[in-house]
Amino acid sequence: MKKNIKNWIFLVLAGSALSLQGCKDYFDLNENPSLIAKPSVNSILATVTHKTAKNSYNVASFSTYYSQYFASPSSSSTTDTYQVSNTSGTWNAIYFAMADIHDMIEFAKESDAPHHVGVGKILMAFHLALVTDTWGSGPYKEAFGKVNTLTPKYDSEEDLYKTSLQLIDEGILELEKPTAYIAMSSTLDMIHKGNRQAWLKTAYAIKARLLNKISKKSTYSATAVLAAIDKSYTSNADDATMGIFSGRNDWAGVATSNLNNVLGGWLSSNFIDHLNGTKYGLFDPRIEKITEKTVHGVYVGTRNGQGNVGAANTIHDECYISLKSPLTKDASPLFLITYPEVKFIEAEAAFRSGNPERAYNAYLAGIKANMVRLEVEQAAQDSYINDARVSVGKENLTLDLIFKEKFVVTYLSPEAWNDARRFDYKYKNFQMPVGAALGNFIRRVSIPQDELSRNSANVPTTVSLDVPLWWDKP
Amino acid sequence: MKRTLLLVLLGLFWVSSSIFAQQRTITGKVTDDSSGAPISNVSISVKGSQSQAQTRSDGSFSIQASTGDVILLRYVGYEPKEVVVDASNILNVQLQVSTADIKEVVVTALGIKRESKSLGYTAQSVSSETLTANKQTNMVNALQGKVAGVTITSTGGAPGQGARIQVRGINSFSSDRDNSPLFVIDGVLMDNSTSTQGGGASRGMSNRSVDLNPDDIETINILRSGAATALYGLRGSNGVVVITTKSGKSGRINIDLQSTYGIENVNKLPEVQTTYTQGWLGVYDPTDFWPSFGPTVAEAKALDSTHPDKLFNHIKDAYGSGSQSRNTLNINGGNEKVTFHSSISQYNHNGILKPTDFKNYQARLNGTYKVSEKFSAGTSISVNNSGGNRYNAVRYVEQLMYWSPRHDVNDFREENGTMKAYGTTSNPRYVAETNKLEDNVLRMIGNANFSYKPVEWFNLSYRLGLDTYRDNREAYAAGFRGLEGERLVSDNGVSPATGRGFVRSYDQNFVSINSTLLATFSHKISDNFSTTLVLGQDLYDRTIKGSAVEASDLAIWNWYFLNNANVINYIGTSKEKYRLMGLFGDFTLNYKDYLYLNVTGRNDITSSLLAPNNSFFYPSASLSYILSDHLDLPSIISNAKLRMSYAKIGKDAAPYSTSLGFGTYGSLPTGYIGFTRPNLKGNPNLRPEFTDTYEAGFSLGFMQGKLDLDFNYYYAISKDQINSIPVTTTTGFGLASVNLGSLRNKGVEVTLTARPVRNQNFSWESSLNFSANRNKVISINPELASSEINVYSESGYLDSRVTMFVKPGKEFGILYGRAMKRYYSPDEIAAGLDKTDKIDQNRPILIGANGFPVLDAVANQKIMGKITPDWIAGFNNTFRYKNLSANILFDARVGQSSYNQTGNFMSAFGISKYTEDRNDYKVFEGKLADGSNNTKEVWLGQGKDPKHGVNYGDGYYRLNHRGISEYFVEDASFLKLRSASINYSLPGHLVSGSFIQGLTLGVTGNNLAVWTKFSGFDPENTTTNAGSSIEGFGGMTYPQVRSFLFTLNVKF
């Protein structure tokens, strides 16, 4: 008996050893159970529509300091004073989003989902514009695994610009296809709820923005801008917005943190003075819908680079981003591009093309629509718009006025800094920050540290941050 | 409770001692026949009876025997001796040192027992006595300074905090690959990972060998070379720590009760300034963010009568004293057929950073069963439950940097219980009290083994082991109470619900099964030749599952339940499987017992690589030549041995390094599922990496054990290193799995053991371990060669971040940072002499037109130091005088640097002692760009200087000093008095006759002194967790402690 047991054990052990060796499947564990091989195009649509709005916020969260809507409560803050700052987080978020967009486009092509392809191309164009408007050049042709490399080459600023325009045109063609085997999900499309027509309007709005960006170039065509405008937004309802958050609107998050002494979202004296009558002698009622008065009952901003002055941070004696503003409430959506902005693009293009009437009408419509968006009372709207300093008459309209009014409309938009650079910062009394590290206004952001260390061979030569980008010079 | 236990035990003993009443008690003493020194731990047994005993530290013993019985005495290194009991009750015995004392048997790979002399590689073992001399509760810490070639880093002083162990330097480039050796306990692979789930990375989590009771360990054998670990296969490629736990011996039941109580405090703190108080630009403000850029204390007092007379030393105040207690009970015994060893222990530790703590309950039962002469079996099982409240030491120190010494950091609660602070600053003590992470680990390690030896030349053995644990973590933070004047605590919440509390639950299930089958054949070919062949199969199967729920915004501020949270921030589960099988053979040829050749081969099949790369073979060969057994050597040399070996070892990838796919996008609210690319780019074409190791060495023994020398040289090249490295996100991924390149390690290890005095009353044993390792990155994957492979980095102000880059042709572990520019003449610049990443310390510093040193461009990263030491050494001394024994252990690590991020903050916030010169005038020594010497006097203060009215802005420390990494990457070389202990054993005559067999009282001091230039906390500290291979970042850490432990040990 005892001997039998021993033999039995021996056989089992030897047998199990041999059988495991033969069992190849046992070692075939390549498929990571925590990942799936091919998600549906709509589930990627959810990701990319959400990420696009977040990235618009991400870029604006520092460029609003350059356009001096915001100013840091700390003196000599890196961003305020034009020091080299590390924007790796935003760069990485943008490229991760573009990789997802790229995958969605590829999967959509395979599964006869042209509308997903179209939306993908428009969102890709939107992101490429964020990249080139912020850092100048960046990888695209070799990015996201299109070329099997761990160090993708950089596309030039001009190429990125051209690619984004081309992507818009391709995207429009795809969106114009009437049928798709897979339709866009109305819940997972977080921007336009699966509405193809709305996406087409947004495509043209972004196209107009892109075409208008090269206003310093000889190739600038106001006609082309206006042609895109014609197929674009007609009311505030058309805006490309995204309002689905885990938590709350990111700007509302800044406001909440600030109230909780994690400081941020302090409005710049440049912006406050723009609105409160200091610069123009005219009180803009939108200020009441953007921020709140200080404890002293006035509107006071913080000078860029100077930091907090007056009482301690806990005393609210300056103005901040507000949880009461229709733009920055907990449930407010994030904006990609809006009807008022489109109106101001129209105003500028019409003005440049020598059509002051169209320009003037668009200018007034833009202000009006923005006031409606900000829920300004009718009477206050009227009194501001009808003021002679605003309703100057078409013959008195100037580019300065258009840029002055557009500055209010593009609050919290990354496009504002593009405009500031196109306008060479010629807003009234726009000052250099206190203790600026540069002699001139900032024109670009340095390529992020992550790129310098991980893709150094391809990163373009470092230039001073006051060197204009490709589109920012003639 | 303890008293009841003791009474029960006493009762038990009274009964059992009466069983032997017909015999009588023989007492005596065992000494060395040449020196007369007492010999402790000699095992004494009565032939043909179950009576057994061990000598105490003074050599005395007592045993039950009758006249005519034969008493057998055995001790390692001595010839065994038999003595017949006569009429006398006193028996003094002298033992003779064994002439062949290296005939010691050591446990090598897979539990194969070999005569030490036959080994063609080094295997240094640590005895239970040496291991437990300094009463460390983490066995990795307990090894510190006691073994050559092994670097052990205690990452910080938190209760239960992990310790890092590395054998022969760093073997892998990336920080997330395990560089620590394989742990094998009684033949079972034991997980020693450091889980960072739930944000544990900066909370000093335990490495999992903390689960092992060091008192259960009989020996630890460290296998360092490739030839030694070859049979363990790829899992052993970083070396192997072979642990053998105690087993019972046949004879009487031994009971051993040990109680330890200890107290501790901080061993080393950075030096702070005592002159300047809160404010900015010299303007006092008791609510200001800036902790120390205000006026002097006297000036502030004139403005504010509530200002304290002296500034607080808030860094010192933030740490209190800690305490620990530990009780262990061992019972072992057995008879000819069955033996057992059992233990139970309890450990309780309260740290210096309140309220961190750690508790550990451990129990073990080992048993052996000899069924017949041919068949034997054994089992062992250990269960433990450990965990405690861990705190984020990085965050704590960071917040201390923001805290102004004008305020008492320990006065952190308002009367209503909410945080007391000032301005917008949080009180770090309050945050620590209200923001917790508690882990709770329940672990079981067990094995069953069988050995069958049907004939003399054949043996079959099988072992099945299980290592499983559940690591449950709860993190929670107090919410907002809505009381009048209550401050929101930003750490205690998740944006957007900042300060509104959170509750998080994490769970990790780890199961590994390990099966080993060995067949051993022995054959004596002739009188001169004998052979042994071992064939085997080894299987390792591991599954790790995890789940996490993170929720925030508590409805009731202190009710830490998930169902009390308004927002779910994250829910997720994870799963990972890994399987590995090895088939191997081990052949030994023995020629005349003085020449041994050992050849091994192993083929691994792994689940973490894809076919055909998943199956690979590698061999090893080693030679051992015992000169002293072959030739007649001068009599002063008692033994001499030469050894050499070669081994190739393969290594696979981390699980799923080859996989691609999509994961969920975590930023969407409930109700929306989106997919996104994962962070890691899997690589289906990964090849296994291979390490070739060459090793040669010798050991020499002089004057019968008075002096032993062991020397070793090794050279190892790892090719095709598999790493997941950070890549540009323009690839769509943050990390990529690649075969990155090759790394070389070479070094020497010397162990010198001396027993200069060994006589009746006094003995001294001294051992010195010395090792030096050099490494070099030989090559890098050509595609990535131009990139800087950023292995790890920590921030510094003004872009003075310090980064560890891997660069071909350079050493591994070089720290780069932002330097001051040095002066180069226009000709030298034209010749490109300034285009080097080395700082030429002989050159003058370049001074700008403003009179301050010029900071180099951020892109021009310069070498600041290296994380690897030039050499490490341990010096351990044991003295014995009559009943008194003492142990002193020094250890040193020399040549490494560490980035002191705390120092960077202490400059930026004006906290360091040296910033007291902030209102001085100074001419910086150096040259201007035109080559002339700088003569411009500048003011170091903020704002306008009183003498000339020049505006200096934020001042020298803010605008210049804090941006220079050179000041903060410091020499972290140290010499430590690691431990000193004194034990007093009650003389034999005081305890003989009673049921107490021995009583020892001891005092141990750990970390008693450290000599170093490092200005931060302990130079050994790292911000990286114990599982990370990254050292050299020692800024914001949990300070080390100096502890005093009092021990009472009673043997029954």
Reported for A367-371, long-range contacts at CB under 8 A and 24+ positions apart, including other chains, are: A367/A340, A367/A405, A367/A408, A367/A409, A369/A235, A369/A236, A369/A338, A369/A339, A369/A340, A369/A343, A370/A286, A370/A338, A370/A340, A370/A408, A370/A409, A371/A285, A371/A286
Cβ-defined contact of A247 to B496 (cutoff 8 Å): yes
Across B542-551, B732-741, B856-865, least confident range: B856-865
pLDDT of A11 above 60: no
Chain A residues with CB-CB distance to B675 below 8 A: 36, 39-40, 43-44, 47
pLDDT of A223 above 70: yes
> What integer pLDDT is reported at residue B611 of this predicted model?
87
Residue ranges with strand state E in B146-276: 150-154, 163-167, 182-185, 188-190, 217-223, 240-245, 251-266
B582 or B108: which leads in pLDDT: B582
Residue B426's closest chain A neighbor by CA? Answer: A261
Nearest to A245 among B607, B669, B799 (CB): B669
> What integer pLDDT is reported at residue B115 of this predicted model?
79
Within a 13 Å sphere around the CA of A323, how many CA atoms are in the beta-carbon half?
12
The torsion angles phi and psi of A33, rounded to 5 degrees, stand at: -65, -20
Distance from CA of A311 to the nearest CA of B (A): 10
pLDDT of B510 above 90: yes
Residue B431 Cα distances to A121, B165, B385, B395, B419, angstroms: 47, 32, 27, 10, 8
Instruction: Give the whole-angstrom CA distance, residue B608 versus residue B656.
Output: 6
Highest-scoring range by mean pLDDT, A21-35, B199-213, B778-792: B199-213
> What integer pLDDT is reported at residue B187 of this predicted model?
86
Residue ranges with strand state E in B759-794: 762-780, 789-794
Query: Could you tell me which residues come within 8 angstroms of residue B633 by beta carbon, excluding any fewer than 6 positions away?
Result: B627, B640
Q: Does B571 touch chain A (CB under 8 A)?
A: no
Nearest to B614 among A27, A51, A253 (CB): A27
For chain A, what is the mean pLDDT? 92
Cβ-defined contact of B579 to A26 (cutoff 8 Å): yes
* Mutate: best of A455, A458, A459, A463, partner B, most B CBs <10 A: A455
Q: Does B678 touch chain A (CB under 8 A)?
A: yes
Cβ-defined contact of A99 to B805 (cutoff 8 Å): no
Nearest to A50 among B287, B667, B734 (CB): B667
% chain A with pLDDT above 90: 82
> What integer pLDDT is reported at residue A308 of this predicted model?
84
Question: By the 8 A CB rule, do A340 and A409 touch?
Answer: yes
Q: Does B424 touch chain A (CB under 8 A)?
A: yes
Rg, Å, chain A Cα set: 26
Q: How many CB pairs under 8 A join A and B?
A: 254
* Mutate: best of A91, A246, A451, partner B, most B CBs <10 A: A246
% chain B with pLDDT above 70: 96
> What integer pLDDT is reported at residue B17 of this predicted model?
41
Tens digit of each residue's pLDDT (9 = 90 or more) over A347-389: 999 999 999 999 999 999 999 999 999 999 999 999 999 999 9
Tens digit of each residue's pLDDT (9 = 90 or more) over B269-315: 999 999 999 998 899 999 888 899 999 999 999 999 999 999 999 99
Query: Chain A window 63-102: which residues touch B at a Cβ cutoff of 8 Å?
Result: 74-76, 84, 86, 91-92, 95-96, 98-100, 102
Q: Which among B588, B594, B526, B642 is positioned nearest to B100, based on CA atoms?
A: B594
Q: Does A282 touch chain B (CB under 8 A)?
A: no
Instruction: Fill in the amino acid letter for B46.
Output: V
Q: Does B731 touch chain A (CB under 8 A)?
A: yes
Across A464-468, B59-63, B700-704, least confident range: B59-63
The average pLDDT across B349-371 equals: 94
The average pLDDT across A251-265 equals: 85
Tens digit of each residue's pLDDT (9 = 90 or more) over B880-938: 998 899 999 999 999 999 999 999 999 999 999 999 999 999 999 999 999 999 999 99
Query: Chain A window 15-54: which residues touch B at a Cβ cutoff of 8 Å?
Result: 16-17, 20-21, 24, 26-40, 43-47, 50-51, 54
Number of H helices, E strands in chain B: 13, 54
Chain B residues with CB-CB distance to A261 below 8 A: 423-424, 487-488, 490
The average pLDDT across A17-40 equals: 76
Across A427-431, B203-207, B468-472, least confident range: B203-207
- Give me the residue label for tokens 């210096």: B352
Cβ-defined contact of B669 to A150 (cutoff 8 Å): no
How confident is residue A14, by pLDDT bands cut at 50, 70 and 90? low
Nearest to A36 among B517, B606, B661 (CB): B661
First-to-last C-alpha distance (Å) of chain A: 99
> What integer pLDDT is reported at residue A262 of this predicted model?
73
| ipTM reported for the complex surpasses 0.95 | no
The average pLDDT across B545-555 equals: 95
How confident is residue B994, by pLDDT bands cut at 50, 70 and 90? low
The average pLDDT across B69-74 equals: 85
Instruction: Give the whole-angstrom CA distance, residue B475 versus residue B472.
Output: 10
- Collapse the DSSP code of B775 into the 3-class scheme (helix H, G, I; strand E, B; otherwise coil) and give the result: strand
Locate B197 and state its tokens.
């789930």
Question: By the 8 A CB rule, do A468 and A418 touch?
Answer: no
- Collapse the DSSP code of A122 into the 3-class scheme (helix H, G, I; strand E, B; otherwise coil) and give the result: helix
Cβ-defined contact of A151 to B375 (cutoff 8 Å): no
Q: Which among A375, A384, A253 is positioned nearest to A325, based on CA atoms?
A: A375
pLDDT of B8 above 50: no
Q: Pairing state of beta strands B182-185 and B163-167? A: unpaired
Locate B1050 and state its tokens.
């009673």
For chain B, what is the mean pLDDT? 89
Chain B residues with CB-CB distance to A45 below 8 A: 674
Nearest to A100 among B677, B682, B799 (CB): B677
Cβ-defined contact of A21 to B581 (cutoff 8 Å): yes
Q: Which among B136, B138, B137, B168 is positioned nearest to B151, based on CA atoms?
A: B168
Instruction: Fill in the amino acid letter for B721.
Output: Q
Question: By the 8 A CB rule, do B578 and B655 touch?
Answer: yes
pLDDT of B715 above 60: yes
Tens digit of each residue's pLDDT (9 = 90 or more) over A47-81: 999 999 999 999 999 999 999 999 998 877 889 99
Query: Could you tell me which residues come within 8 angstroms of residue B65 by beta carbon, excluding any fewer than 6 positions away?
Result: B23, B24, B26, B46, B49, B51, B71, B85
Cβ-defined contact of A257 to B495 (cutoff 8 Å): yes
Q: Which among A372, A325, A328, A370 is positioned nearest to A347, based on CA atoms?
A: A370
Instruction: Give the whole-angstrom CA distance, residue B323 versus residue A35.
Output: 46
Q: Which among B532, B579, B525, B553 is positioned nearest to B235, based on CA atoms?
A: B579
DSSP structure class, residue A132: H
Nearest to A151 among B787, B799, B803 (CB): B787
Return the biggest CA–CA distance within chain B.
Answer: 103
How confident is residue B7, by pLDDT bands cut at 50, 70 and 90? very low
Tens digit of each residue's pLDDT (9 = 90 or more) over A75-116: 778 899 998 888 999 999 999 999 999 999 999 999 999 999
Residue B538's closest chain A neighbor by CA? Answer: A17
Instruction: Give the whole-angstrom CA distance, residue A313 versus residue B285.
Output: 11
Residue A304, H or E segment? none
Q: Pairing state of beta strands B240-245 and B182-185? A: parallel
- Give me the residue label for tokens 């803009």: A284
- Give me the residue label for tokens 């980008």: A469
Q: Does B923 touch chain A (CB under 8 A)?
A: no
Residue ranges with strand state E in B140-186: 150-154, 163-167, 182-185
B98 or A113: which leads in pLDDT: A113
Chain A residues with CB-CB distance to B497 below 8 A: 247
Chain A residues with CB-CB distance to B488 below 8 A: 260-261
Q: Is B766 exposed, middle or buried (0-12, 13-18, 19+ CB in 10 A)?
A: middle
% chain B with pLDDT above 90: 62
Q: Does B452 touch chain A (CB under 8 A)?
A: yes
Query: Chain B window 528-567: which residues touch A at a Cβ cutoff of 8 Å?
Result: 537, 539, 567
Q: Does A312 touch chain B (CB under 8 A)?
A: yes
How confident is residue A314, by pLDDT bands cut at 50, 70 and 90? low
Tens digit of each residue's pLDDT (9 = 90 or more) over B460-471: 999 999 999 999
Question: By the 8 A CB rule, do B870 and B772 touch?
Answer: yes
How confident is residue B662, by pLDDT bands cut at 50, 70 and 90? very high
Query: Could you tell me which residues come within 8 angstroms of residue B508 by beta carbon, excluding any fewer than 6 positions away?
Result: B195, B197, B470, B471, B472, B544, B545, B546
Query: Could you tell me which residues come within 8 angstroms of residue B198 by beta carbon, excluding any fewer than 6 positions away?
Result: B437, B439, B473, B475, B504, B506, B548
Instruction: Give the whole-angstrom CA distance, residue B284 versus residue B286.
Output: 7
DSSP structure class, residue B500: S
> What integer pLDDT is reported at residue B882 of this predicted model?
86
Instruction: Provide the β-strand partners of residue A36.
Output: B662
Cβ-defined contact of B517 to A14 (cutoff 8 Å): yes
The average pLDDT across B790-814 equals: 89
Question: By the 8 A CB rule, do B432 and B454 touch?
Answer: no
Residue B488's closest chain A neighbor by CA? Answer: A260
Nearest to A9 among B450, B669, B790 (CB): B450
* Mutate: best of B404, B575, B731, partner A, most A CBs <10 A: B731
The average pLDDT across B405-413 equals: 97
Q: Does A245 touch chain B (CB under 8 A)?
A: yes
- Whether pTM > 0.90 for this model: the answer is no
Q: Does A265 touch chain B (CB under 8 A)?
A: no
DSSP structure class, residue B665: -
